[in-house]
């Protein structure tokens, strides 16, 4: 039973692909990790570009307290106008995470039966 739970817990806590690596499905594990990482990096770059119009060019001239409020307002405006992009990235990561958990469980079950 422990050999079935371990890959599920690895996927649950560490993310998609780790349980597949534990199950010795290296191509699938690396693919899931790479896709998840790509989605995270893409979302981060998109958010950075979306915030650019709100950030002043010379950050040394801005008071740190004012900058914090400026970023808070900018994040609110970006999320209100284009929050669907972040929601899509979050949804995709959730689907990858759930797929990783279910797949790790099914493969571990199959391997356990064949032993």
With cut-offs at 50, 70 and 90, classify the pLDDT of residue 2: low
From residue 18, how far is each of 22, 34, 40, 67, 81 by CA, in Å? 6, 11, 16, 39, 35
Q: What digits encode the pLDDT tens for the residues 21-74?
A: 999 999 999 999 999 999 999 999 999 899 888 888 887 777 888 888 888 888
More confident site: 4 or 99: 99
pTM (2 d.p.): 0.84
Q: Which contacts (CB < 8 Å, 24+ apart) does range 17-23 have?
A: 17/100, 18/100, 19/100, 19/101, 19/103, 19/104, 19/108, 20/100, 20/103, 20/104, 20/107, 22/104, 23/104, 23/107, 23/108, 23/111
pLDDT of res. 15? 93
pLDDT at 83: 86
Q: Using one digit for the tens of pLDDT, what is the confidence trace for 91-113?
A: 999 999 999 999 999 999 998 88
Residue 58, pLDDT score: 80
């Amino acid at each position: 039973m422990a050999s079935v739970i371990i890959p599920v817990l690895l996927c649950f806590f560490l993310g998609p692909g780790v349980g597949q690596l534990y199950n010795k499905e290296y191509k699938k594990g690396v693919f899931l990790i790479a896709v998840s990482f790509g989605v995270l990096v893409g979302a981060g770059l998109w958010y950075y570009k979306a915030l650019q119009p709100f950030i002043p060019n010379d950050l040394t001239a801005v008071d740190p307290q004012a900058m914090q409020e400026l970023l808070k307002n900018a994040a609110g405006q970006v999320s209100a106008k284009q929050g669907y992009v972040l929601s899509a990235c979050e949804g995709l990561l959730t689907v990858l995470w759930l797929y990783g958990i279910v797949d790790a469980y099914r493969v571990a079950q199959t391997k356990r039966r064949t032993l």
